[in-house]
Amino acid sequence: MSSNKAPARGRKRFAFDLKNAIQSVSQGVEVRGVRLSVTLISFLAVSLGDEDGSFDCLISQVDGPFKAALTILVSDASEYPSDHTFFCSSHQELPSEILAITESVYEEGSATIQALLVRLLERIARAVVEGTDAVHNATSDDEQQDADSEDEDEDYEMDEYDLELFDVQPSAQILDRFALQRDFNEIVAHGFCPGFIRIGVDEFALTVSLPAKSLADIISPHALLAWDRQLLTGPQYLTLLISGTRGVYPVVKADGRLTHSAAARSTVLQFRVGLTPNYKPDKDITVELMRRYGLQDGDSDKQLSEDASDDDEIEDVDALDDLSSDEGEVNEIEEETEEQARSAGFRPFSLSSSLESLLNGHFLHLLQLRLDYGLGWAGAEVLRWEIESSQSRAEDILLHKEREIRQADKADAKLSESYHLPADCLLDVNPHNPVNLPLIAFSYMLRRLTLCPRYCLVCHQELKEDLDALKPYVCSSTLCTYQYYNLNRGPSLEYEICSNPAAVDLLVSLAYIAAAEGALDAPLPVGMGIRVKSKHSKTKLSTGQDDDLCDLDSLEIDQLLQMRAAIRDLIDMIPPIMQLKRHLEQPHKPGRAKPRLQDIDRSIPEAVWLILRWCVASCTAHLEELKSDEEKVKNMDPTWRQFRFSVGAPHAEAKFRKAVESAKLKNPRAREFPTLYAFHGSPAKNWHSIIRHGLWFKTVANGRAYGNGVYFAKEGSVSLGSYAASATVCWQNSACKAAVCVALAEIVNLPSMFVSTSPFFVVNQTEWIVCRYLMVRAVTSNSNNYIMRTIGASAAPSGTVPVTQETTDADEIPCVPLDPHHPLTLSNALIRIPEPRFALEKLLAARRDAFVPAQFDEEDARIFSGVGDPDAALEGADSVEEAVDRSMVKDDWKHDPEWVNECIEHVLPPPRESSRMASTALQKELQAMLKEQNASRSLKELGWYLPEEFIGDNLYQWIVELHSFDSSLPIAEDLANKKVNSLVFEIRFPATFPHSPPFFRILKPRFLPFIQGGGGHVTGGGSMCMDLLTADGWLPSYSISAILLQIKLAISNLEPRPARLAQNWSTAYGMYEALEGYKRAANTHGWKVPSDIDKLTR
C-alpha cells in the first residue's frame, strides 16, 4: 500500500487516487492487457480532465496502430469509491467493439480509478486482440518471442507497482451484483440452484444446492442408502452453505486468492454441508449455523477435555455429575438449540462433518494450486498433502514430483469411467476469467461425495488399500482412527442404532464370535485409545491413576489372544441394542440435550462404547435387515433373517456391470439370463472379516478340492453343510443370536469360464461376483439337526425339479429371471430373487413425485434479473430483446431531449437521504418502468415517457414526461399552440419510500393557477393536488406508472375547471413554490403532509 495514507472517501479520495494513477502512468507503468496474443495495450498518459470529476487517458496498442483518447467522468466524486458510477466517452470515432466497451463502463459498478483502468484496459485489449486475430495469426515466431518476453517484463513491473497503483482500494465496491448475477447464471447452467441469504446490512451467505433425488442419477442409489438413508428420505436438497464472506463478492480473484476487499475485511470462508427442505435454508437457521461455527472448534476441545476427565475420574462419578449439572447445562441447551435449528432447516448427514472439514481446511488452497500449476483436483490434492507433510514449497515439490502429481490427474480420467463426476468447471479456465467460487466449491464437494469411499474421512487422503469399500472409513493412520472414534467424525452411531438396530446387533455379534473363536484379525480396534484391564503389570501406564487399565494397542503384537479376550469382554458389557435404541429415542425434556449412549449406565467404561462404535463404523459394507415383501428373497424358510448385503464400491458394481455386458456379447445364454445367483457359506467366525474384506479376501488364493476361487452352491444347504459352520458362542445380549451365515451372490452367467462348476461353482474372477444378501440364522437347540437334515435333503438326485409351491400373494412383485439350467434352491425350495430395482424404483419415484422445483425467492430473483443495482436496471432496459421497433407507428409521440434539457436547467440536486429499502424498491420500480416503456408499441398510447439519458446515478430523483393528451382537451390545444412537447415532471423520493409517497411536481410548462381560473389539480407551485400523493392517501403498493396515469387523468379532468397554460408558461416552477403549493393544497383538503417532505426538498 502507498506510504501516504489514502483519504477514506469522497472528493479527496478521488483526487488522491487520480493523482496516483497519473503519477504511476507517467512513470511508465504499462498495464498488461491479455496474455493471449502479441497485441498489448498500454496507457500512454492519464491527465486531469476539463470538467471537475473527470480525467482523460490516452491508450495505445504496443506495436500496433490502435490509439484512443478517452474521457472518464465520475457521476459524483463525493460518493467515491463506493456509490459512484463511471462514464467513458471519446471525441474520436471508435471502432464498434471498443465503443461497446466504453459505452458500458457504467456497468462496471463502483470501482476505484485503478480498478477501472485495469478492467478497461483488459477489455479493450481483448477486443483489439479478437479484432486483429485474423490478421495477426501469421505472426512469426520471432515476434511471438519478443512479445512473450515483453509480457514477462510487464508482469514484473506490475508486481512492483502493484502495491502502489493497484492495491489502494480498501473500500472498493464490496458486493458486485454483476459478478453475482453472472455466477448465479453459470450455476444454473450447471444444473444447480444458487441462493443468496442476506443476513445483515453488511453480511450475506451464499448457497448452492441440488435436489437430493438428483443424487440418484449420479451415484448408485444403493451406495446412497448405505452412506446415509436420509439422503433419499423425503423431498430435500443437498446444500452447500458458504458464509463468512463479510459482505464481499467476488471473494476471490482469478488466481483463487482473496480479493483486496475480502482481504481488507478479513473474509474467512466457512462451508457447511447438509440437507435442507428448500433450495436454501432460512435466514434464521443460517444465522444460527454461522453463530455456531466459531464455537465448533471450542466444542471439540471441550469434548476432548471431558473425555479426558472421564478417564481420570472414572471412579469419582459424583464429581462428574456435579460437573455436568453445573456448566454442562448451558452447553446442553446450546446443543439443543442447534439441534432444533438443524433438524428444522439444515440437517447434517453422515458425511457432513468430513466434507466440511475438507472444504474449510483445504478447498481454497487446492483451488489456488490448480490455478497456479494447471492441475486437476487429484493432482492438486497430491501436491497439497505433500506440502503439508513436508512443509516445503509447492515449486520445490513440483521439481521432484511433478510426474507423480500429473499422473494423479491422468488416473482421475480413468476414474470417471466408473464414477459420474461433476463437470470440472476449471478445466478450460482462462487465467483472466473470474473464478465462480460457489460453483467450483459445490462441484468439488459433489466430486468428493461421489468418491467418498476412496478417501479417509479424517485426513481426506486417498486410501492406499486395494479394497473398493462401499462405505467411507478412515485410513490406517492411528491419528485418523483416534479422531474418528473420539471426535465423532464419522457417521453417527446413534443414528445407526435407531434406524438399523438389527444390523448393529449382527455386527456386534459377528465381532464377538470372531473374537471368542480366535478368528479376529486385522483390522483390530487399535489407535482408538481403548484402555482395558490388564493382567500384566508390564503394560501398565505410569500415570498411576488406574492401576488396572492398559492401552489395548500395546497388546497388538505379542498378545493377540489377550487382545481378543479383552475385546470379547468389552462386547459382553454392551447393553442390548434395542435397549440402547429405546434409551436414545426416549422423549427428552425441551431445553435438555438428547440422551447420550453413555448416560444409559455411567458405570460402563468408555472403552465399551468405543468398541461398539468400532464394530459398526469399521464395517464398510452395507447391511440392512429386509422386512418388506418387495425386498425379501422369496421361499426362504422364515427362520432366516434376511439382510441386504453390499460390499463393493460403486466402482466394483461398475466393473461387474461391464463384465455382465461383455458376457452378453460372448454367450447367447448370458444374453437371455445375464447373471446367476448362488450361495456362499463360511463359518460364523469368519464373517466379521468377510463383511469387511469381501468374499474373495482369503478364499481365492487358497487351494481347495475343486480349485482356487470363491466357492458357491446352487443349493443353499450345500454351502451350509460344507462350509457355514455354526458358531459355538453367542454375544449374550444379542437379539438375533446369529450362529449361521450364508451369503447370496450374483455371478456373471458364464459357467463355462468358471474354475469348476460341479459340485460347486468356483469363480476366480472377483469382478464377476457381487454380494447381494446375507442370510442369518439364530442358534436353536436343534440347529445342528437342521443342517444335518438339509444335507440329507440335498442328497436327492440332482436335476430333480423342486416341487414346493410358491406363495402367490406377492406375485405382483417382479422377480429376477433366473437361468433354469441353474436353479437356486434352499432345502429344495425354489428361491426367487425380487427384482432389486423394484423397491428402489418405487422409492426414487416417490422422491421424484414429491419433488417441487425450486422457486427462487425475491432476493434471488433480483440477482438473476440484475436488479438491485442501478446500473443493472439500465442494463436490463437497454437490452435489445425487449426494445420494440416503434418506427412503424405513424405520428407517434417523439421525445425531445432539448426540451427536457431546457426544463431541468434549475432543478435542485437529488435528495440526500437514502435507505436500502428505498433503493431496492426504486431499482425495481425503475426497471419495471423502463421495461414497460420499451415494450410499448406506441408512446402515444403509453402517455408518459421516462427519458433514459436523464436517469442520473441517483435513484431518488427522476425526470418524467407526460404527453399526448386527448386532443379535444383545452390543455392539448394550448400545448399544441405553444409547441410544448410534454409536461416535464420531477419526482423526488424520500428515504422512507415506498412507505411514504414521492413528491411530484411540474418543472415546465407553467399552468394557469386555480385562483386565476385554472384547473387540472395543479397547485400554484406546479405540484399536484392529489389525495393519493399525501401521507393519508398513499399506498406502498402504488406503482409510479400507475400514478402517472392518475396525474394525467387529474390534469385532463374538466371539473371543476379545465387545466390551461399560464401566460408565462415557459417560466419554470421553483422548488420552493412547488412545496408551498403542495402544503397549502394539503391543508385546504385536510390531507396529512408526509413528515419528511421538507427533507426531500433541501
Residue numbers at the binding site for Zn ion (CB under 5 A): 456, 458-459, 475, 477, 480
d(CA 1080, CA 1093) in angstroms, rounded, equals 13
In whole angstroms, how close is the CB of 464 to Zn ion at the nearest point?
A: 10
Q: In the sheet that 957-962 helps form, which strands lie side by side, from edge to edge?
A: 944-945, 957-962, 983-988, 999-1004
The 3 state secondary structure assigned to 60-83 is EEECCCCEEEEEEEECCHHHCCCC
For 49-64, the three-class secondary structure string (H helix, E strand, C coil) is CCCCCEEEEEEEEECC
Distance separating alpha carbons of residues 301 and 804, to the nearest angstrom: 62
Closest approach of Zn ion to the CB of residue 459, in Å: 3
Strands 640-646 and 40-48, by their bridges, are: unpaired
993-1031 b/e (C-beta count within 10 Å ≥ 16 → b): bbebbbbbbbbbbbbbbbeeebbbbbbbbbbbbbebbbb
Of 999, 408, 868, the residue nearest 398 (C-alpha): 408
Any idea how long the chain is? 1098
Min dist CB 354 to Zn ion, Å, is: 10
CA 902 to the chain's CA centroid? 53
The three cell numbers of residue 386 are 505433500
Q: Using an 8 Å Cβ cutoff, are 354 and 458 in contact?
A: yes
C-alpha 36/C-alpha 431 separation (Å) is 10
**Three-state SS at 520:** coil
Integer angstrom CA distances of residue 744 from 83, 645, 968: 70, 9, 93
Round to whole Å and give the CA distance between 1032 and 514.
84
State the residue for C-alpha cell 450455476: 187
Q: What is the 3-state secondary structure (H, E, C) of 350-365?
A: CCHHHHHHHHHHHHHH
Q: How far apart are CA 132 and CA 129, in angstroms?
A: 5
Q: How far apart, in whole angstroms, are the C-alpha atoms of residue 276 and residue 209?
A: 9
Q: Where are the beta strands (DSSP E) in 699-850?
A: 710-712, 738-748, 761-763, 769-778, 825-826, 829-830
Residue 244: which region, alpha, beta or left (left: phi > 0; alpha: psi -120 to 50)? left
Distance of CA 973 to the CA centre of its chain: 63
The grid cell for 979 is: 409547441
CA-to-CA distance for 184 and 928, rounded, in angstroms? 22
Give me the least distance between CB of 487 and Zn ion, in Å please: 13
Backbone angles phi, psi at 465, to 5 degrees: -60, 145
d(CA 119, CA 854): 35
What is the longest distance spanned by two Cα atoms in the chain?
Answer: 123
Q: Which is nearer to Zn ion, 166 or 473 (CB)?
A: 473
The span from the CA of 112 to the CA of 696, in Å, is 66
Strands 944-945 and 67-74: unpaired
Q: Distance from CA of residue 956 to its chain's centroid?
A: 37
Query: Cβ 400 to Zn ion, closest distance in Å?
Result: 23
Asked if residues 622 and 491 have their Cβ atoms less than 8 Å apart, the reply is no
Q: Residue 77: which region, alpha, beta or left (left: phi > 0; alpha: psi -120 to 50)?
A: alpha
Name the minimum Å distance from CB 480 to Zn ion: 3
CB 128 within 8 A of CB 61: yes
d(CA 606, CA 306): 12
Nearer to Zn ion by C-beta: 273 or 480? 480
Name which of 376 and 527 has its Cβ closer to Zn ion.
527
With beta carbons less than 8 A apart as the criterion, state whether 939 and 1022 touch. Answer: no
8 A C-beta contact, residue 843 and residue 167: no
